[in-house]
Amino acid sequence: MTNETSTADLPTPVRSRDGAGLLLRIVPPGLYAGRAHVLVERSYLVSRRGWMSVFSGFFEPLFFLFSLGYGLGQLVTTVDGPGGPVPYAVFVAPALLAASAMNGAVFEATFNLFFKFKYAKTYDAVLATPLGPVDIALGEAAWCLIRGGLYSAGFLAVMLGFGLIDSPWALLALPACLLVALAFAAVGMAAATFMRSWHDFDLVQLAVMPLFLFSTTFYPLSVYPGWLQAVVRWTPLYHAIELMRGLTTGYVGWGALGHVAYFAVMALVGVVVAARRLGKLLLT
């Protein structure tokens, strides 16, 4: 009998997924465990009990479409769209689609994250496990993306049913909405980490409401004076609306890549800031 051990008896090292392994080499192990999907699963299980609060967010843009797109559309017949005059309902519907992706992501990422962080102490319990702040940021952003995507998918189905989609390019509208939702969710999460009390959430409304009203949602950019047009062009919802209008009407140019890049950078910056802030607040 020998003391040598066969290599077959040695435990096989556990390999992490390629993407997770690469990220683990960049991010310190205490900040990221590669299990952000656990936060998504938790959010899903919690939302099953309050599904009506999630489902109700779909109706807001739908009511706007009926009241303005068809109500006001009886008075305003056509509006200048990406390729020329279009019916008012066709002009408004893509903007409401972009707004639904924004609202679904922003309010999930701000109000709910603040409650979990400040009062429920959910993330303190999460950090008692191998998960880290980066897992929290990625998991919450992914859930916000799913919620914004559900709103967008439902609204796209309504647009298709009412004949408000004129191009096969609209197949890309849902992936575009997911990117928009992810970007707004990431920035919303980063903003929520700076909130001190519920009173600070008035600032969220102060940011979201002007975006909704002035980002060419209900009228074209040409109605604004020159200086205000320059301001509007820098706002995120304007880029989302322009992207959706181009896809649903079929007028897609190279500018669409600029809109996509805008939201990719916005999502990256938001996730990085949210992860660092959560790490600073929860680990110190």
Q: Confirm if 174 and 153 have CB atoms less than 8 A apart.
A: yes
Alpha carbons 147 and 234: distance in angstroms, whole number: 25
pLDDT at 55: 61
Amino acid identity, residue 214?
Answer: F
Q: Could you tell me the pTM of the whole model? A: 0.79
pLDDT in tens, the chain (284 residues): 444 444 445 444 444 444 445 444 444 555 666 777 888 888 888 777 766 655 666 676 777 777 777 777 777 778 887 877 888 888 988 998 898 888 878 877 888 788 887 888 888 888 888 787 778 878 888 888 887 777 788 888 888 888 888 788 888 998 999 999 889 988 988 888 888 888 888 888 888 889 998 899 888 888 888 888 999 999 999 999 999 999 988 888 888 899 999 999 999 998 888 888 877 877 66
Q: Quick one: how far is CA 143 from the chain centroid?
A: 9
Alpha carbons 32 and 39: distance in angstroms, whole number: 13
Q: Confirm if 66 and 59 have CB atoms less than 8 A apart.
A: no
Whose CA is closest to 170, among 182, 151, 156, 155? 156
pLDDT at 38: 85
Alpha carbons 253 and 263: distance in angstroms, whole number: 17
With the CA atoms of 205, 207, 209 and 215 taken in that order, what torsion angle do they form, in degrees rounded to the nearest 10? -160
Alpha carbons 277 and 275: distance in angstroms, whole number: 6
